Amino acid sequence: MPGLGVQAHVVPTDVSDVAAVQHLADEARNVFGHFDAWINNAGVYLMGRLEETPDDAFRQVMETNFFGTVSGARAAVAQFRRQGYGTLVNVSSTFGTVAAPYVSAYVASKHAVRGFSASVRQELLGTGIDVCTVLPAAIDTPLWQHTANYTGWRIRPVEPVYTPERVARAILRVLRSPRHEVFVGPAARSFAAMHGLLPRTFERTMNGVTEAHHFEKERQGHTSGTLFRPMAEGTGTSGGHHAAGKQWLRRLLVAGGVAAAAFSLGKKREARGLKARFAHALGV
């Protein structure tokens, strides 16, 4: 990569193919002699009601998002053990800590990545190998163009949407100074905190937010997106969805403060009133 002072070696890889992932690791070792870090970041997105989502589509989300991470981790950890050090970065999602409707396959895969990372991290204590989990909020990538969509409606990301460069910087930080888990974007941390404090209210609110903001008013036929094959569209880093989202983010932060107040008061009557304000703060 001219100007960056580094050498790049590109190996197109289907992460749902175990042999292909192992070939990627072997190729990296053959070209560079070793590797210091491995980042599992490949992911696909699916929206649809549980009963309307094809079984093979649901399974492919798990194959890519979760089992692709497992295959990458196996290949990387084997090399790290040989050399006595290394950093494994698994990219989960804010949906690795909370959930929303219509994305059960994606949520399941990202919860699995987070739990898998925590378990492997404990296995590797004292080995010189770090395992870090990155949990981004909604990111402006072509993921939204590539979504497998079985809802019947055109979709859009729910604000606030952050830039992919923000995630890249977070990954660089954990490579330099490993941490167990890192949230990317204020919304990611706020979602996790609010769910921990008021889980039932949070889930009702997320349902309302999804219904109100995740769908366009335009019908769309069912599509498998990039689950089973690449698409010619959306090959850059940005999906063109990045917007200020300031008003929604302000509501989110106000809601987080409301949730914290409910927790600190610890009184049922006050908590009930604050729950209503929590939902109102998010505009649902």
Any idea where the domains of the chain sit in the sequence? 18-281
Whether the pLDDT of residue 92 is over 60: the answer is: yes
Query: Is residue 270 scored above 50 in pLDDT?
Result: no
Residue 159: per-residue pLDDT: 87
Residue 3 has pLDDT above 60, yes or no: no
Amino acid 162: pLDDT: 95
Mean pLDDT calculated for residue range 154-163: 92
Q: What is the pLDDT of residue 53?
A: 98
pTM (two decimals): 0.86
Mean pLDDT (whole number) for 80-86? 98
Please give the pLDDT value at position 239. 67
Q: Please name the amino acid found at residue 248.
A: W
For the segment 37-48, what is each residue's pLDDT rounded down to a tens digit?
Answer: 999 999 999 999
Rounded to an integer, what distance in angstroms lies between the CA atom of residue 248 and that of residue 79?
A: 44
pLDDT at 54 over 50: yes
Q: How far apart are CA 106 and CA 268, in angstroms?
A: 34
pLDDT grade, residue 232 (50/70/90)?
confident
Q: State the Rg of the chain over Cα.
A: 20
Q: How far apart are CA 194 and CA 88, in angstroms?
A: 29
Give yes or no for a contact between 188 and 135, defined as CB atoms under 8 angstroms apart.
yes
- Predicted pLDDT of residue 276: 52
Q: List pLDDT tens digits, range 94-109.
A: 999 999 999 999 999 9
Q: What's the average model confidence in pLDDT over 122-130?
A: 98
pLDDT band at residue 1, thresholds of 50, 70 and 90? low
| Rounded Cα distance, 208 and 227, in Å | 27
Task: Give the per-residue SS3 of the chain.
Answer: CCCCCCCCCCCCCCCCCHHHHHHHHHHHHHHHCCCCEEEECCCCCEECCHHHCCHHHHHHHHHHHHHHHHHHHHHHHHHHHHHCCEEEEEECCHHHCCCCCCCHHHHHHHHHHHHHHHHHHHHCCCCCEEEEEEEECCECCHHHCCCEECCCEEECCCCCCECHHHHHHHHHHHHHCCCCEEEECHHHHHHHHHHHHCHHHHHHHHHHHHHHHCEEEEECCCECCCCCCCCCCCCCCCCCCCCCCHHHHHHHHHHHHHHHHHHHHCCHHHHHHHHHHHHHHCCC
pLDDT over 70 (residue 253) = no
Give the confidence band of 200 by pLDDT, cuts at 50, 70, 90.
very high
CATH pick for 18-281 out of 3.40.50.720, 3.30.565.10, 1.10.390.10, 3.60.130.10: 3.40.50.720
Q: Is the per-residue pLDDT at 71 higher than 70?
A: yes
Q: According to the model, what pLDDT value does residue 219 have?
A: 95
Please give the pLDDT value at position 244: 43
More confident residue, 73 or 233: 73
- C-beta separation of 137 from 184 below 8 A: yes
3-12, 50-59, 159-168, 171-180: range with lowest mean pLDDT = 3-12
What digits encode the pLDDT tens for the residues 135-151?
999 999 999 999 999 99
Does the structure show a pLDDT above 80 at 76? yes
What average pLDDT does range 58-79 have in this prediction?
A: 99
pLDDT of 267 above 50:
no
In terms of C-beta density within 10 A (0-12 exposed, 13-18 middle, 19 or more buried), how is residue 204 classed?
middle
Mean pLDDT of the chain: 88
CA 59 to centroid of chain Cα atoms: 17
pLDDT at 83 over 70: yes
Tell me the C-alpha to C-alpha distance, in Å, between residue 242 and each of 138, 165, 182, 270: 10, 12, 21, 37
